[in-house]
Amino acid sequence: MAYLDEARRLGDALVVGINTDASARRLGKGARRPFVEEDDRALIVAALESVDAVSLFREDTPLELIRALRPDVLVKGGDYAAAHVVGAREVEAEGGDVIILPFVGAYSTTDLLERIREAGK
C-alpha cells in the first residue's frame, strides 16, 4: 500500500493497471500463479482508499493501457530502472513524468511464498 499511497499523492487520480491471469502467467512465474484470480485482485486494489480506478490488461505489458490513458505521471516501484519502464517514452513525449519510488522489500508474492516454504520446513 505504501507505493499506492505515494503514487496517489503524485497526481490528481490513481489508476492501477493489473495483469490478467493469462498475462501474469506469461511472465514465467509458474502455472500456479497468480494465487488470487484477476477479478478478486482488481476488487481488492480498487477498495483501497488511494486507488481511483483499476484496469485489467491482457497484454504482456501495460503499454496499450498507458497509451490510452495518457497519464501525466507514470509511477513504478524502485525495483525498476527508469530506462526499463514500459510506457516511459510515451509519457515523457507528452510532457509527463516517470517517477520511480524507493523499493519496499519483502512484500512481493515471491517473497511471501518463500517465507511460507521456510515456515513449513
More confident position, 56 or 2? 56
- What global pTM score does this model have? 0.88
Q: Is the alpha carbon torsion for 48, 1, 28, 100 positive or negative?
A: positive
**Under a CB-based contact definition with an 8 Å cutoff, are residues 23 and 41 in contact?**
no
DSSP 39-103: HHHHHHHHTSTT-SEEEEE-SSSSHHHHHHH--SEEEEETTS-GGG-TTHHHHHHTT-EEEEEPP
Which domain range does residue 27 map to?
2-119
CA atoms of 10 and 14, how far apart (whole Å): 9
Over residues 10-63, the pLDDT tens digits come to 999 999 999 999 999 998 877 888 989 999 999 999 999 999 999 999 999 999
CA atoms of 1 and 68, how far apart (whole Å): 25
CA angle 120/79/91 to nearest 5° reads 140
For range 95-111, the mean pLDDT:
83
Instruction: Give pLDDT, residue 47.
Output: 98
Read off the pLDDT band of 110 (50, 70, 90).
confident
Read off the pLDDT band of 103 (50, 70, 90).
confident
Over residues 58-70, the pLDDT tens digits come to 999 999 999 999 9
Q: How many domains does the chain have?
A: 1
- Domain of 6, CATH number, reads 3.40.50.620
Assess whether pLDDT exceeds 70 at residue 107. Answer: no
